[in-house]
Structure 1
Amino acid sequence: MATCRPERIFRLVQDGDSSGLRALGLGDDVTSTLRTLRRARSGDTLVHVAARKGDLDLLRYLLEELSLDLEVPNREYKRPLHEAASMGHRQCVRTPLMLACTRVNVEVVRELIQWGAQLNLRNKDGWNAFQIASRQGDLATVCFLLQASPDIWMTRSKVSRSPLHTAALHGHLDVVAILLQRCGYRPDERDSCGVTPFMDALKRGHVEVARLLMDRHKADERAADALGAQALHQAAMTGQDRSIEFLVTELRVDVNSRATSLNLTALHYAAKEGHTKTILTLRDLGADLQATDAKGRTARGMASARGHAPCAQALDQTCMHNHTSTTDFTAHALPPKLLHQSSPS
């Protein structure tokens, strides 16, 4: 054993080389070392590695012949059973359900429920298995959970976010469609910050999801969160140009609408976050480049204060171009007589 380094042993398990492990011998000193062996950073045991790999024969060897502990958690408080479930290794697991829902694992989910997995368990954030499945976006798992427990959708996280919020935020169009069809969500349900699923979809650029929420759920495109920011302002904050174009051109949202007690425009938000391309998009949609907030700040001043030089430069060039265009138009539009009269004597 002295000639075999710990990483070599972990490599044998990773490679599924049970014969290499057996070649180490089954003496008490070897078995004792294997039982206490852990990776420094992750805290994984050999059983964690084998479970994550899904090697049933190797697991049997480690557990039955070497009597390694199945219940030891790693530094993320995960036991080998959690690792097997999260990786979808049906042959190695009987529970837990929530980690199985983090992957495309409907057969594993089905197996866990048949063996009595509890559907109402929640994690530290207040999420149950259905909310996790809605985040993952596997339609088969979502539908199966709804079939197994028709009221499972009636759940909220600790910050009052619903599975519909979660699916919309991650852009899972087919899951959102099923949730709207089979669940009783009210239009524009809000989380603890006043955010609606419609806002969540557009802040990530999921225009198709937002359009579905408009068509089937009568979402309010001008609804504001707890601070007074609409979907337009949130999309500008995250630099989602398609969302902005959808709101302004299709839904006729005012591009210069104000948000919060500071009277910020979408242009202010884009400048504050350094989204140069979004600034140009807003300009093309008719944003007021000289608009000031409640403190008298323009978008250009906000960009400069935040150190976003490209944004400030884009705003400078746009304002200069607009000024030049206006001056040229005025000069060429005046008749020669009026032009002469308007010139300083």
Structure 2
Amino acid sequence: MMQLPYDDEKDVMTAAAGCGDLRVFQWLEATLGEDACVTAWTAAEAAQEGHVAMVQYLHDKYPDECSHIVPERAAEYGQLPVLRFLHEHCHHRWSSQVMDNAAGNGHVDVVRFLHEHREEGCTSMGVSKVGAHGHLAVVQYLSEHDILRSWTQVLIEAARGGHLDIIEFVFRKYVRGATSTQDAVRVEDLMKSGSLAAPSMSDVAATNGRRLSVIQFLDKRYPFPVADYTKLMDFAAAYGHLDVVQYLHFYRTEGCTTSALDQAAANGHLDVVQFLCARRPEGCTPQAMVSAAQNGHLEIFQLLYQQCMANVTRKRRVDWDQAKDRALAAAFVSAASEGHMDIIKWMLETRPGVWETLMPSQKAEMNEVAVHGHLDVLQLLRDRVGWCGTSERAMDGAAANGHLDVVKYLHETKSARCSMGAMDGAATNGYLEVVHFLHQHRSEGCTTAAIDGAAGNGHVAVVEFLLRHRKEGFTSDAMDNAAGGGYLEILLLLHAQPGSRCTTDAMDRAASEGWLRIVRFLHENRTEGCTVAAMDSAAGHGHLHVVKFLHAHRTDGCTTDAMDGAADQGFLNVVKFLQKHRREGCTTDAMDGAAKHGFLSVIRFLSENRAEGGTYYGMQNAVEQRNLDVAAYFHSLGLVIDEYGWELAMWLSDWAITELRRISPS
């Protein structure tokens, strides 16, 4: 068989289907032979791209693979010609997800076709995206044809998206212009119960677009509970919507809580902070200053420090003064750790004694300045307060994060120690320059974790340097990790070292990931071998090329997990190979798992070639996932359906009626 530049046959077949070139696809089929892997996802890829000829070819040759996934994908991307073909030729059961996908993505022509030719309909939750995305034309069509009876979720999502046109339409149609009392009550109850107010009014304030117009529209028509408006100003402030904050301040009386100013400060909304400080009495908590400092909002930090403290009541000021020093100390640590040089400078100039207010635990936390690479802050603190990192955490963390300038500074000023963790961390994360500096200028060295970590993350240059210049060596984790990550070059380097070792995990993990070249190398050059997990996991992930190699060249074998896993994921080509060439077989988990994911072709093959069959749980999986074709097939095998009998019987009846209508509309 020709070697293709893909890790798996399933990848290349799906990619070819998505491109829509039927000649290439057929050439791949001929080239791969029995290794060709065609699944429902292959057909779904062609449907998504609108390749009708490809979908038709797949339907004719692999009818079981054109499952419910295919029309769902076609509807999601608005591929009406594909849906027309599937409707006319494919006998698989569809679900309401098809119309849900079409409506949510604004494909009104697809929604119209489905309504006129199909029976599945849609769901209230499923089409809620129509409100979120502002598809008014779809909303109008759904309403005109009475397709959707509950508008709760659509309204909520429209409010979140700021789509006033949809909200106005729904209110005009179902409230002021309702054709029946029941229609009007539906929205009335929605509003009064708070199901719209509580989750969405706050969200409205948090959206972009016409959020204020939505709030004004709703505010004029329905009285909401006071608590909802309190939360609304809090949310509006947090998201920086000054227009909403101003409207609620001038036209409502509920106000807000301290959360409004706290969150506005944390998120850097200076205009909102200024307005709240000038107009509202609620004030803030000390956390406002801490958050502003942590996030680098100097102007807000200064405003809160100077103006807000002067505006709070005397009682609140006493409370504030008691917490002020603690808040400023926390703000100083937060700003320094995040590298906000301007805030640190301002605090040291405005409150020169702030350093002395830090508790020992806070001074220890200041080592994060080095860890995060803020050299300028380190230099400032050393000049102003004589501090420049005090623990191994400073240099170890700086090295692990690749901050060579900080590592050099700490080394030159002799202000902080490090441990072997410095080089270990730098090596693991691939920072060769840091590793080189530590090797040349420090004596702490490293541990075997250096090469182990670098090998597992694919840092070949670091591995080469450590092998050449260090003597700590490595453990079996190095080769195991390199093999599992697919890093053949590193594996070759480590293999060449005297005394190198790995475990069976190396080949097991490489097989699981589909790295055939690594599996072959380990088989031909190492003695550790593998376990049954190699073929089991390769089969479960659809790596047929690895399964075939292990079968042909190794004697470790596999377990029933191999076929069970392949069936569960729909890899029919793997299932067929195992059935033909292996004796381990499978368990009922194979058919039950395939049922859960709707892989009818796998189920059919297993039922025709294996004796294990499925169980009640397979039927349950099919019913719960609405894979009615699979459920019907299970039923044809004579499986007991127990408590799901009534629901399944109803679905089977509905399916039969739909099929009769499709075949004979009269």
Per-residue CA distance 1:134-175 (angstroms, 9 max, x = gap): 122221111112223223335358586332x12211112222
Mapped to 1, the partners of 2:494 and 2:210 lie a distance apart of 66
Matches within 5 A, 1:32-43: 32=225, 35-36=227-228
Mapped to 2, the partners of 1:211 and 1:305 lie a distance apart of 34
Q: How far 1:305 moved relative to its partner?
A: 4.8
Per the alignment, residue 105 of structure 1 pairs with 297
Residue among 278, 282, 298 paired with 2:462: 278
Per the alignment, residue 432 of structure 2 pairs with 241
Change in 2 beyond 3 A, CA 1:11/1:174? same
Matched residue SS, 1:70: coil
Matched residue SS, 2:355: coil
Matched residue SS, 1:84: helix
Q: How far 1:312 moved relative to its partner?
A: 7.9
Q: How far 1:11 moved relative to its partner?
A: 3.9
Change in 2 beyond 3 A, CA 1:137/1:56? same
Per-residue CA distance 1:180-204 (angstroms, 9 max, x = gap): 211232x6512xxxx3322221111
Mapped to 2, the partners of 1:62 and 1:156 lie a distance apart of 42
Q: How far 1:129 moved relative to its partner?
A: 0.6
Residue among 162, 166, 191 paired with 2:365: 162
Q: How far 1:91 moved relative to its partner?
A: 3.2
Residue identity matched to 2:346: F
Mapped to 2, the partners of 1:281 and 1:205 lie a distance apart of 16
Per the alignment, residue 331 of structure 1 pairs with none
Residue among 263, 283, 287 paired with 2:470: 287
Per the alignment, residue 6 of structure 1 pairs with 156
Per the alignment, residue 176 of structure 1 pairs with 378
Per-residue CA distance 1:293-312 (angstroms, 9 max, x = gap): xxxxx625122455754588
Residue identity matched to 1:218: K
Q: How far 1:287 moved relative to its partner?
A: 2.4
Change in 2 beyond 3 A, CA 1:159/1:130? closer
CA contact (8 A) 2:398 2:407 kept: yes
Corresponding position: 1:121 with 2:326: yes
Per the alignment, residue 299 of structure 1 pairs with 474
CA contact (8 A) 2:422 2:446 kept: no
Matched residue SS, 1:147: helix
Residue among 249, 269, 275 paired with 1:89: 269
Per the alignment, residue 188 of structure 2 pairs with none
Change in 2 beyond 3 A, CA 1:50/1:24? same
Residue identity matched to 2:383: Q
Per the alignment, residue 332 of structure 1 pairs with none
Per the alignment, residue 414 of structure 2 pairs with 218
Corresponding position: 1:267 with 2:451: yes
Residue among 211, 224, 242 paired with 1:31: 224
Per the alignment, residue 402 of structure 2 pairs with 205
CA contact (8 A) 1:31 1:66 kept: no
CA contact (8 A) 1:6 1:37 kept: no
Change in 2 beyond 3 A, CA 1:84/1:65? same
Matched residue SS, 1:151: helix
Per-residue CA distance 1:43-91 (angstroms, 9 max, x = gap): xx4324421343334213224423345228xxxxxx2222210122233
Q: How far 1:111 moved relative to its partner?
A: 0.7
Higher mean displacement: 270-279 or 87-96: 270-279
Matched residue SS, 1:120: helix
CA contact (8 A) 1:119 1:128 kept: no
TM-score, normalised by the number of residues in structure 2: 0.37
Q: Greater share of helix residues, 1 or 2?
A: 2
Mapped to 1, the partners of 2:264 and 2:453 lie a distance apart of 44
Q: How far 1:110 moved relative to its partner?
A: 0.6
TM-score, normalised by the number of residues in structure 1: 0.66
Q: How far 1:277 moved relative to its partner?
A: 4.5
Per the alignment, residue 80 of structure 1 pairs with 260
Change in 2 beyond 3 A, CA 1:240/1:119? farther
Per-residue CA distance 1:272-305 (angstroms, 9 max, x = gap): 6665443233234x123xx5xxxxxx62512245
Residue among 18, 25, 50 paired with 2:236: 50
Residue among 341, 345, 352 paired with 1:139: 341
Per the alignment, residue 326 of structure 1 pairs with none
4+ runs deviating over 6 angstroms: none
Per the alignment, residue 390 of structure 2 pairs with 189
CA contact (8 A) 2:370 2:378 kept: yes
Kindly, what percent of the aligned residue pairs are identical? 21
Per-residue CA distance 1:116-140 (angstroms, 9 max, x = gap): 37553359xxx81111111222211
CA contact (8 A) 1:16 1:58 kept: no
CA contact (8 A) 1:276 1:311 kept: no
> What RMSD over aligned residues (CA atoms) do the two structures have, in Å?
3.6
Change in 2 beyond 3 A, CA 1:160/1:234? farther
Matched residue SS, 2:218: coil
Residue identity matched to 2:332: F
Q: How far 1:314 moved relative to its partner?
A: 4.4
User: Structure 2: which 5+ residue stretches go unaligned?
Assistant: 1-150, 163-204, 278-283, 310-319, 499-666
Mapped to 1, the partners of 2:216 and 2:360 lie a distance apart of 47
Mapped to 2, the partners of 1:321 and 1:21 lie a distance apart of 70
CA contact (8 A) 1:131 1:162 kept: yes
Matches within 5 A, 1:222-233: 223-224=418-419, 229-233=420-424
CA contact (8 A) 2:399 2:426 kept: yes
Residue identity matched to 1:302: D
Larger radius of gyration: 2
Per-residue CA distance 1:14-43 (angstroms, 9 max, x = gap): 33643442233435x4332x84389xxxxx
Corresponding position: 1:152 with 2:152: no
Aligned length: 277
Change in 2 beyond 3 A, CA 1:322/1:92? closer
Per the alignment, residue 75 of structure 1 pairs with none
CA contact (8 A) 1:303 1:311 kept: no
Per the alignment, residue 212 of structure 2 pairs with 18
Mapped to 1, the partners of 2:406 and 2:244 lie a distance apart of 45
Mapped to 2, the partners of 1:307 and 1:202 lie a distance apart of 23
